[in-house]
Structure 1
Amino acid sequence: MPGLDGPRPPLPEWILECYEYLRSHADERADEVGSGRSIEYEAAVDSLSASRKLMLEREDAKYALARLLERGYFYEVDDELRVTMPDQDCCRNN
């Protein structure tokens, strides 16, 4: 998870850029648990693949999402990715 010291190396800069991009493109949601930001998995892949700034192929986008899920930047509910830390600038110090 971002900001925690551990034996794993930090995520590559391009994956952190994917997180920032998706975080800024995620929709606000409100539910019984609270509010936050989320984006559907396929919409995230499509968005990353379509970004002219990131210039990723679909498989690269899926790889980035897998790493972000593993590290706790997102958690998945059904086919929806929910941002775990929407209001923190946590990525640059990972």
Structure 2
Amino acid sequence: MSRAADPRPPLPDWVLEAYTVLTDAITEHDRGESHRQVQAIPRDDAIEVLLSTDELDLEPEDADYALTRLLDRGYFYEVDSELRVTTPSEA
């Protein structure tokens, strides 16, 4: 669904920034694992990444909220407590 046709309000900039931080962390983590087909990060690790980055100043509840919104909007999907990127970026 295109942004123009999406009736839901856009995600806040800080949630989109959280997505960027997480996809960068996933890409960095997966870089050494050439056998890995799916870009993913365990949910607990994702929370830690969001809490430890200098790019965002989040409380644990904020990090959990951002992950929930990103999951609800389809940026990630979850399998066995692991967040997977729905559409991996082109390398």
TM-score grouping bracket, smaller chain normalisation: 0.7 to 0.9
Gaps of 5+ in 2: none
**Separation in structure 2 between the aligned mates of residue 44 and residue 67 of structure 1, nearest angstrom:** 14
**Separation in structure 1 between the aligned mates of residue 75 and residue 10 of structure 2, nearest angstrom:** 13
Query: Paired residue for 1:46, among 45, 48, 57?
Result: 48
Gaps of 5+ in 1: 89-94
**Separation in structure 1 between the aligned mates of residue 23 and residue 88 of structure 2, nearest angstrom:** 7
Q: Deviations over 1:9-68 (max 9, x none)?
A: 11010000000100010133646xxx2311000000011011122011111000000000
2:56 corresponds to 1:84: no
**Separation in structure 1 between the aligned mates of residue 39 and residue 65 of structure 2, nearest angstrom:** 21
Q: How does 1:55-74 map to 2 (within 5 A)?
A: 55-74=57-76
| 1:36 alignment partner, SS class | coil
**Separation in structure 1 between the aligned mates of residue 38 and residue 89 of structure 2, nearest angstrom:** 9
Higher-strand-fraction structure:
1
More RCO (CA 8 Å, sep 6+): 1
| Aligned-residue identity in percent | 49
